[in-house]
């Protein structure tokens, strides 16, 4: 039986043609999450960086990142992407009311903001997320490495990152008061 009160659920996904059309016309909302290990007092001891194969065939270090789906709460988007990239046993600790440490705007042209996404204009809410469990890369992630805050902002790690995400890591550590 079908009537006007039928409650079909839309998972929020767009096919390749639809997302390309929207990316060409609208900013797309994303979340970025920097997974960290912390002491009991909340001091960051390690930063988790993913190793990813990029669309152009290169390999790069990256933070957890992904789109927010239509009708999805920011909190749920964060948890979905953390689970997808770090595995179900990562045990992320999100605060009751997560607030981003910054908002990053990604553009196809690096000249606008230093954050680059060749596909689109994206607005990303960026978070620092403590994780307590075992992380195992999954989906698009090939590996995860845990580095100290000093190592995370080193020239060696910066050289492995693209799209301005090295700047995002620096901003995160600065906002947490542990930028070396």
Mean pLDDT score, 77-96 = 94
Domain of 165? 16-175
Query: What's the CA angle centered on 139, arms 20 and 89, to 5 degrees?
Result: 135
Mean pLDDT score, 102-122 = 92
Which CATH number characterizes residue 120's domain? Answer: 3.90.79.10
Mean pLDDT score, 93-114 = 93
Does 145 reside within a domain?
yes
Does 49 reside within a domain?
yes
Contacts of 86 (CB under 8 A, 6+ apart): 35, 48, 64, 92, 131, 135, 136, 137, 138, 141, 144
Number of domains in the chain: 1
Cα–Cα distance for residue pair 152/84, rounded to 1 Å:
22
CA distances from 166 to 5, 10, 138 (A): 48, 35, 22
Please, where are the H alpha helices in 16-125? 16-23, 74-86
Does 11 reside within a domain?
no
Band of residue 12 on the pLDDT scale cut at 50, 70, 90: low
Does 180 reside within a domain?
no
The reported pLDDT for the residue numbered 53 is: 82
The reported pLDDT for the residue numbered 20 is: 74
The reported pLDDT for the residue numbered 174 is: 97
Task: Look at the block and give the residue holding tokens 């045990």.
Answer: 91
Does 88 reside within a domain?
yes
Mean pLDDT score, 105-117 = 92
Mean pLDDT score, 109-137 = 93
Band of residue 25 on the pLDDT scale cut at 50, 70, 90: confident
Burial of 24 (0-12, 13-18, 19+ CB in 10 A): exposed
Does 10 reside within a domain?
no
Mean pLDDT score, 2-28 = 65
Does 80 reside within a domain?
yes
The reported pLDDT for the residue numbered 58 is: 82
Residues above pLDDT 70, as percent of the chain: 92
Q: What is the mean pLDDT of the chain?
A: 89
């Amino acid at each position: 039986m079908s009537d006007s009160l039928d409650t079909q659920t839309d998972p929020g996904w767009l096919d390749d043609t639809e997302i390309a059309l929207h990316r060409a016309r609208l900013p797309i909302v994303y979340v970025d999450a920097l997974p960290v290990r912390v002491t009991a007092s909340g001091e960051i001891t390690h930063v988790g960086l993913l190793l990813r194969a990029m669309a152009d065939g290169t390999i790069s270090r990256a933070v957890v990142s992904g789109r927010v789906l239509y009708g999805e709460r920011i909190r749920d988007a964060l948890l979905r992407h953390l689970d997808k990239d770090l595995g179900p046993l990562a045990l992320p600790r999100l605060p009751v009311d997560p607030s981003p440490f910054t908002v990053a705007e990604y553009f196809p042209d690096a000249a606008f903001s230093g954050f680059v996404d060749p596909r689109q204009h994206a607005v990303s809410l960026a978070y620092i997320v403590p994780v307590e469990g075992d992380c195992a890369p999954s989906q698009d992630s090939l590996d995860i490495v845990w580095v100290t805050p000093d190592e995370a902002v080193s020239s060696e790690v910066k050289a492995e990152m693209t799209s301005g995400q090295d700047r995002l890591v620096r901003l995160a550590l600065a906002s947490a008061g542990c930028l070396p």
